[in-house]
């Protein structure tokens, strides 16, 4: 299956590192004109240059802004008046004992992980509908369904993204625009190796260490290893492509079987 998104413009929020960077690179490799987003202009410029060096002929633009604010959203819109593919990847996470999560933290997680995505959808969806084609994806998490006791505020925000995706998919019904969420499972991103080695034998080679970590601390996983960011990016590229035209309003799982349910 050739996943070709040539001629399409994609915005990936929070794409200067981790899963977002991998998604942006994968979309560029599949032919999209890709906008890299992050708060720091110099970091964004470095990543733009990195993707151009890595992907021959890639068309990559810088869209630095704090999209958790209305002003930041307008800054991005000034660079990108119209887009065809929106990937709301930006998010924050952290562990806090449930009864110690303050009102301000509850609000911050909602504003960053949910409202920022809603604002960008509200900005770009009308244009997609008007042109009769578009792809919107909200990067969620297994925590949206398997709520961690120490990360209730994070889980809440990712559950909300599932609802946001389903609701906006209904708004776009019959228009050629699809809206989905991607449920990512435990993923091998920056800092995870250090975290793993805090919990398993430090003398183990990485492949053995992560499998030990998954057996002992993430036993729900059927994959029995951490997911690589490229595996999540593969799903995002597919959902961004013309081939995914009949998938909308869905919570698509790239979780390694972590969520113990048949649906979604």
By annotation, the residues acting in catalysis are 154
Backbone angles phi, psi at 65, to 5 degrees: 180, 155
Q: Tokens for 144?
A: 């949206």
From residue 213, how far is each of 208, 230, 256 by CA, in Å? 9, 21, 15
Of 222, 182, 246, nearest in space to 23 by CA? 182
Cα-based torsion angle of the residue sequence 20, 255, 181, 115 in order, rounded to the nearest 10 degrees: -60
- CA 117, CA 87: separation in Å to the nearest integer? 9
């Amino acid at each position: 299956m050739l996943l070709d998104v040539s001629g399409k413009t994609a915005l990936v929020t929070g794409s200067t590192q981790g899963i977002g960077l991998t998604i942006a690179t994968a979309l560029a490799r599949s032919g999209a004109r890709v906008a890299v987003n992050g708060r720091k202009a110099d970091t964004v410029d470095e990543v733009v240059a990195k993707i151009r060096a890595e992907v021959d002929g890639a068309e990559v633009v810088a869209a630095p802004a704090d999209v958790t604010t209305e002003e930041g959203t307008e800054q991005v819109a000034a660079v990108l008046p119209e887009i065809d593919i929106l990937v709301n990847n930006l998010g924050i996470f952290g562990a806090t004992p449930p009864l110690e999560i303050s009102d301000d933290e509850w609000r911050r997680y909602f504003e960053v992980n949910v409202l920022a995505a809603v604002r960008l959808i509200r900005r770009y969806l009308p244009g997609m509908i008007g042109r009769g084609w578009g792809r919107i994806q909200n990067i969620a998490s297994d925590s949206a369904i398997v709520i961690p006791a120490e990360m209730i505020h994070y889980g809440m925000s990712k559950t909300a993204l599932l609802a946001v995706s389903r609701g906006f998919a209904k708004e776009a019904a019959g228009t050629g625009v699809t809206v989905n969420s991607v449920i990512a499972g435990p993923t091998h991103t920056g800092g995870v190796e250090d975290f793993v080695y805090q919990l398993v034998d430090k003398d183990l080679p990485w492949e053995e260490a992560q499998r030990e970590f998954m057996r002992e601390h993430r036993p729900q996983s059927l994959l029995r290893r951490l997911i690589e960011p490229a595996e999540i990016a593969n799903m995002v590229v597919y959902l961004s492509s013309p081939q995914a035209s009949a998938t909308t309003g869905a919570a698509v799982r790239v979780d390694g079987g972590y969520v113990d349910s048949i649906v979604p």
